[in-house]
Structure formats: structure tokens, C-alpha cells
Amino acid sequence: MSAPAAPEGLAARAHPFTPLVVSLAVVALAFLLPAPAGPLLLAALLIIIAILGGDPRALIPAAWLAVPFWVLLFILHALLGDGPMRTLGPLTLSVHGSALALTQSGRFTAIIVASVLVIRGFRPGRFVDAALEAGWPWTSAYITAATLNAIPRFQERAVRVQEAMRSRGLRVRGTLITRAKAFVPLALPLMLGALHEVDERTFALATRQVRAEGVSRTPLRPPADTALDLTVRWGAVLAVLGAIAWRFVA
Amino acid sequence: MSAIEFSRVSFRYPTSGPVLRDVTFEAPAGRVTWIFGPAGAGASTLLLAAAGLAPGLTGGSLEGSVRILGQDPGSRSGRGAVQGKVAYVTATPYLQLSGMAESVFDEVAFAPANIGWDRARIEAAVPEALARLGIGHLADRIPEELSGGEQQRVVLAAMFVLRPDVWLLDEPTSALDGTGRELVRAFVRAEAERGCVVLFATEDAELGLALADEMVLLDEGSTVARGIPADLLGTELMWAMRAGSTGVGELARAANRLAGERAAHLAPPYPLTVEAAVERWR
Amino acid sequence: MICFDQVRFRYRRDPVLRGLTFEGRRGEALGLFGANGAGKTTALRLCMALMHPEEGSVTVDSRSTAGLGPEDMVDLVGYLFQRPDDQLIRTTVREELAYGAERQGWAPERIAAAVAGALEECQLAGVAETHPYDLAMPKRRLVALASILVTDPKVLLLDEPTALLDRTGRALVAAIVRTRVAAGGTVIAVTHDPAFAIEALDRGVALEMGQVMQEGSPEELLRSGVAGLELPPAVVAAQRAGLTSKSLRMVDLASALARHRS
């Protein structure tokens, strides 16, 4: 009964290559931009893109992943770091450590938000068509699409598995420890089920001529590669090159 | 020429004992052949072997020879030769969806696109296939959001669009209700009339009786009997082989066992349909 | 035992249940019938507190599902999902069956006894040490069923219990339902299987557009063509041949036929 929500937002509407190129650029920029301001601004920018671009719900899974990291980095570097210290209210923080924590938090957040946006907006059929139009061989296009698509499928499955497990008494709500303990019993049915499903789907796909030889696949609905898409992709590449140049010059 | 030929085929999966033992039979074109047996008898494996998926994708070892349209589906050249001509349908429609299609139209277009049909040909063939399965109205729907019965029809349309010569069906109606079952039955029958080979496995004896021209009874991997369903399904052999029969046949046999010697009128061959039973029992 | 009172529920802005009211009583097996989208599985999920009504209430044994999750209902209710693969987690059937009882903190001896009983009842004793994924689908589905029977819940919620099963499996499930009902349990089953409905159920409600459109015995509902279903051929044949029998279940029809003069 539970159906996958149709991908929404900028990442889903753009040409499939655009979000991928941009997210790779984000990874590069996260490390190239001058710390700590650079990564933090990058993270903020991506959060704004998520909200304005039509997929604000992407921030929920991103937060789940990012916030524990922030806390960990803060404790590790800011509270427990050494060197010159500064007091901030009741806390005594390492200056250098705080900067490090902010930098790494910013980097991690930027990368996570970008990845979540890409995965949530991924449309495998469209990607394959775009790749074929761009001259990719069928196998590469298909495998890339199937891999990226595996994640949302995994998520849907995770929801179903969690329901089934809760219906047998697994407690997932409550304290952090309860939630953490709940993760382990969920992992096995998830993995096994996913592998099993891959197995069965492979049979079905084999009979749908996926392994056909000597023919090239016809793209059904190649997505339009608009001027905006090209601009954004080139813009991302130039931003990375610019950041590299800055590094050498500054 | 028989379109599917099994000759002394034995098969085992990587981690199992023998699942098929010395199986020999032929399924001719233009007729519907039914593989019937209790769970675990090997019917699904037999279909996988016919499709070239066992041992190809499943692993395991196969002895003997499998020929489909004169080719060995397990060999690379054989597979190439039957490309696009063999349809394989299982009981779980959601596992047969490509996962790449955002609409039913695209799902049905998946295989033709994969073998390189040009767009014009696809745009003509897909609506035809949808109409043939009565799902033209679902063309824009997301396949994953459909009911099991609707999904199964999408899968059939997705295979039909290539006009296969061979249909291999493993419990094709178990996810369907009465109307869906009837639709599949009529569709499969028409395919046989079109000259296809149809080989299907089902535990639904009513479906087998209504659909099949010939049945092959399988037990623990061996072919035990062959014949016309109407002749075989009412005999004690069905229960000796743990295969069972139609609901009416089951009732008749249960009554016979209760009545014992006293009731000659309840002896086998048991009636299989409502009409036959009413005539016998009234 | 189970009470739906004017329940309204939406799934992503689409109304699914529009004032659903019905009861599942003690010592009774109730069938939920209806076309796809009528809300049958949704109703089942509401019973298990997997989802909660927007309006109205769902109570199980006087316990409202409001504010609770499925883990809070587990002491009372066992839920059989449509896809067994979503709930199989252990590496042997025996361990799989023990999971629910372990979650509820049962003593090891009690668990072992209950697991042995469930293995026996579902005819799985021979595969107790097998990995569930090494079993064919019909057996795997029975493992899923057995695993919810172990803790002997008062209520069983079954989503298409006979789908994906073979002949012996279907007969087994019907027998299990009757045993539970005879012991005072409540069973609610969503089903499209007419033979199972006749064999296992006492009563049925037909849902249409998120409400109860019809109520009655399985025979009455099937005869009226609910959800495009029909009476099983064996029942039709018996009735047309003029058999008088205690019930429409196979065992009673067979006795009637055996006694019937030719």
C-alpha cells in the first residue's frame, strides 16, 4: 500500500547530470574553500537551496545524520581541545578547536545535504535516458542508475521492516540508547531482504532484455538539457577551479 | 517441431539436493502445457531451466539438455538467438517491475527500448499491448502504486509487447481475484492460439483444468504422469502424489473416504466441475 | 474486543476511511472484504497502532490505540504482514519464532515450550534449524505466521493469510484460525480467498469507499458478489446437488455427501 513519493524539488526537475555534478563540486569546495567560513557558508547555501528548491523535507534525514556529528565534533575539538582558551558563558572552549569543529561540521553538513538532495531527487529512468543521449554505454548507465536508485528503495524497505519489527515488540522510540539498540535487529532483515530482492529482480530484468546483446537501447524520454542546466554545471566546475586557483594564489 | 524440449534433465542448486531428476517431456507450440505438482516438486525450477535462468543466474548444475525453439537457453549463443522471444512471468508482480519506469507506459516500453526499437515503433506498440490487457486507462499511473492484479497485467503487457513465441508462467494468477484470473486465462489461451508455446505451473487446479491442453504431473523432481487434465485430475493418483485436485474433486474424495465401501457412486474418477458434480450427486 | 468507532483516515490527502464503524468479537473470526483501495489493510494497520485515526477511535480489548505504537500492542495482538521477507530476522526458524517472546521478556523454558508448540502446529518441525531464506515462499510465510502465534496473542490480524501459500498451507491456516477462535481468540483477516473465507471465518464486513457497505456471513457476502468474489465451486456444487449440511466447511459437506443417497 505504501507507495514511493514521486521525487520533488530542483534535483528531480533538472537534467539528471546537473545535481550530480553540483554535488561533486560541493564535495570539492567543502575542502577547498577557506575554513571555517567557507564550509559554513556552503552548508548554509545548500540548506537554503533545499528549502527554496522545493524539497525542504530533505533536511530531516540530513539533520539526523549531521546533528550527532556536530555534537561529537564540538565535544572533541571545542571542549576538549587545547591551546588558547576562551570562555563563552559557562563553557571554556579551545579557540583553535572551535574553529576546527565549525569547519568540519560545515563540510559534513554541506556534503550530507547535497547527497540527500541528489538521492531524493534521483529518477533512474530519466538518468539512463540522459546518459544514453550523452553517449554512455548501456551497462554503465544502467548500473549507475540501479546503484543510486538502491538507496531510496532501501529506505522504503527500511520503513516496512521497522513496522514489522515493531509489531513483534522491538522498541524504537524513547531514549537515544533504545533507538541505538533498535538499529541492530533492523539491519539484518534489511540487508537480507534487499539482497534477496536484488536476486529476484535480476531474474525478472533478465527476461526484459536487459542483457540484450548487439543492440543499443533507445532512450525513451531524454530529458531536456536546458541553458540553465548547462550554466549551473559549468558554474559549479568554474567555482571549483576558482577555489583551486585561490588556494595557490592566497 | 516441439518448441520446448527437456531431455533427461537433472538439476541441483548450489546448496541443495537434486531438484529435477531425469525429466523428459515436450511442450508443443500452439498448446498450453501445465506443470502440476505439490510445493517443492520442482515446477518453478523447471520453468527457470526452460528460461535459461537456471543454472545461468541461479547457479547450480544441470545435466541433460534443454531446448527452447531449438536453442539452448543456457548458452550465450542460444540466449542471443531467442532474445525477445521468451516471456517469463512469476507470481510476485512487484518484483518484476523494472524500477526504472515512472509510468505504466514506460514500464511496458522498457523491453522494446532495451532491444533498440525506435521511438515510433515503441509509441505504436505500447498502446496496443496496454489495450490487449485492458489497462489502457492506467498508462500514466506509477507502476509501484497499482494493486497486485493491475501490476500483473502490466507485467503481461510488458512481455506481450515483444510478441514472444514462448510463455513461461509461474503461478501467474495467485495475486489476482476472479476477474483478473479470468482475464489471464483468456489471454494465455489466445496466445496459444496465436501459435505460442505456453508452459505454466500452478497449484490452482481449477485454472489448470480450464486452461491446459495437457498436464505433466511432477513429484519430487520427476515426471510421474502425463495426460489430459480432465482425465487425470479425478484419479487417486493426484492424492497419492500429494498434488490434490479441484475444490469439487477434493470434496468428492473426502466424501468417498468417509463413506468407504458402502458408496460405489462416490468412487473415483471424481467429478471436477460443478456441473459434473451436480449430475453425479443429485 | 476490537472496536472501530467512526474512524476517519487519510493517506496523503486522499480520504481512505470515512466513518468506519465495526466490531471484532471474542471467539470470532471476522473477514474484511472489498476492492483494492477500499481501506481493508488500512483498517488492519490502525488496529495495530501502526497508524492512527484522524477522527474516531480504535480500541483493542478496551485499550485505545491513541498515543501508542505497535510495540505497545504486541502483548495483545499479532500481525501477519503481506510480505514475510520484511519481518524475518534470525538465522534459523527456531530462533525466528523465539523473537517475539524474547522481546516480551519470557523465561527461556517458557519460550522453548511455546516455540516447540508453534513449530508443531505449523508443521515446521522438520525445518526448525533451517535458515528462513533457504525455504520456499509458502514455508517462509508459515514461518512468519508461526512467529506471531508463539506468544499466543488474543487477537490475530492477518493480511491475505493464504496468498503465497500452497494447498497444505492454506488448509493449515484455516485450521489455525478455527483453533484460536475456539479458544476465545479474535481473528480479523483481509482476504480474497473464497475457500478460506468459508472454511475459516464466522462473519464478514465488506468495505466500500472507506465505510461498511455490507455485513453478514461469508456465504452471504460471497453470494452477493462482494469484491468480485464467488462462492467456492465445491460449495456451489453441494448446494445445487441438494445436500443438507451442518455448515459449508469441507468436513461437514463431505459428511453430508457421504450420507447422501445417490
CATH code of B53's domain? 3.40.50.300
Distances (CA, A) of A156 to A160, B152, C77: 7, 21, 24
Q: Within a domain: residue B152?
A: no
Q: Within a domain: residue B265?
A: no
A165: which chain C residues are within 8 Å (Cβ-Cβ)? 87, 89
Residues C7 and C72 in one domain: yes
What domain count does chain C have? 2
* Per-residue pLDDT, C24: 93
CATH of the domain at C69: 3.40.50.300
Q: Mention every residue, 6+ apart, whose C-beta is less than 8 A from residue C138.
A: B39, C164, C165, C166, C169
Contact A4 B115 (CB under 8 A): no
Q: Within a domain: residue C234?
A: no
* Per-residue pLDDT, A36: 82
Residues C115 and C47 in one domain: no
Q: Within a domain: residue C225?
A: no
Residues C132 and C169 in one domain: no
Q: Within a domain: residue C16?
A: yes
Residue of C nearest to B279 (CA): C241
Nearest by CB: C86 against A1, A171, A189: A189
C79: which chain A residues are within 8 Å (Cβ-Cβ)? 167
Q: Within a domain: residue C144?
A: yes
What domain count does chain B have? 1
Residue of A nearest to B111 (CA): A208
Q: Which tens digit of pLDDT belongs to each residue from C65-96?
A: 999 999 999 999 999 998 887 778 788 999 99
Q: Within a domain: residue C60?
A: yes
Residue of A nearest to B76 (CA): A213
Q: Within a domain: residue B235?
A: no
CB-based contact, A193 to chain C, within 8 Å: yes
Q: pLDDT class for A190, splitting at 50, 70, 90?
A: confident
* Per-residue pLDDT, C8: 92
A5: which chain C residues are within 8 Å (Cβ-Cβ)? 12
Nearest by CB: B251 against C229, C230, C234: C234
Choosing from C151, C167, C185, the residue where a domain stops is C151
Q: Within a domain: residue B201?
A: yes
Q: Within a domain: residue C262?
A: no
CB-based contact, C213 to chain B, within 8 Å: no
Residues C147 and C157 in one domain: no
Residues C4 and C55 in one domain: yes
Nearest by CB: C69 against A161, A168, A173: A173
Q: What is the share, in percent, of chain A residues with pLDDT greater than 70?
A: 96
Q: Is it the case that residue A203 has pLDDT exceeding 50?
A: yes
* Per-residue pLDDT, C261: 65
> pTM for this structure?
0.85
CB-based contact, A143 to chain C, within 8 Å: no
B104: which chain A residues are within 8 Å (Cβ-Cβ)? none
Residue of A nearest to C102 (CA): A169
Residue of A nearest to B87 (CA): A207
* Per-residue pLDDT, B1: 57
Q: Within a domain: residue B205?
A: yes
Residues C118 and C19 in one domain: no
* Per-residue pLDDT, C262: 53
Residues C2 and C14 in one domain: yes
Tell me the CB-side half-sphere exposure of residue A12, using CA atoms within 13 A. 17
Choosing from C98, C133, C151, the residue where a domain stops is C151
End-to-end CA distance of chain B: 46
Contact B100 A204 (CB under 8 A): no
**Interior CA angle at B148 toward A139 and A218, to 5°?**
25
Residues of chain A numbered 166-185 and touching chain C (CB < 8 Å): 166-173, 185
Contact B281 C253 (CB under 8 A): no
Cell of A34: 577557506
Question: By residue range, what is the domain housing residue B3?
Answer: 1-85+164-227
Residues C144 and C31 in one domain: no
Q: Within a domain: residue C261?
A: no
DSSP B71: B
Q: Within a domain: residue B18?
A: yes
Residues C118 and C158 in one domain: no
Residues C11 and C50 in one domain: yes
Maximum CA extent, chain B: 70
Q: Mention every residue, 6+ apart, whose C-beta is less than 8 A from residue A78.
A: A93, A94, A97, A98, A100, A101
Higher pLDDT, C185 or A137: C185
Residues C175 and C48 in one domain: yes
Question: By residue range, what is the domain housing residue C5?
Answer: 1-76+153-217
Q: Is it the case that residue C106 has pLDDT exceeding 50?
A: yes
Distance between CA C11 and CA C22 in Å, rounded? 20
Q: Within a domain: residue C204?
A: yes
Q: pLDDT class for C159, splitting at 50, 70, 90?
A: very high
Low-confidence ranges of chain B (pLDDT < 50): none
Residues C67 and C183 in one domain: yes
Choosing from C151, C174, C198, the residue where a domain stops is C151
Average pLDDT, chain A: 83
User: Of A57, A155, A166, A168, which to mutate for an interface test with C (greatest number of C Cβ within 10 Å)?
Assistant: A168
* Per-residue pLDDT, A3: 37
Q: Which tens digit of pLDDT belongs to each residue from C1-12?
A: 999 999 999 887
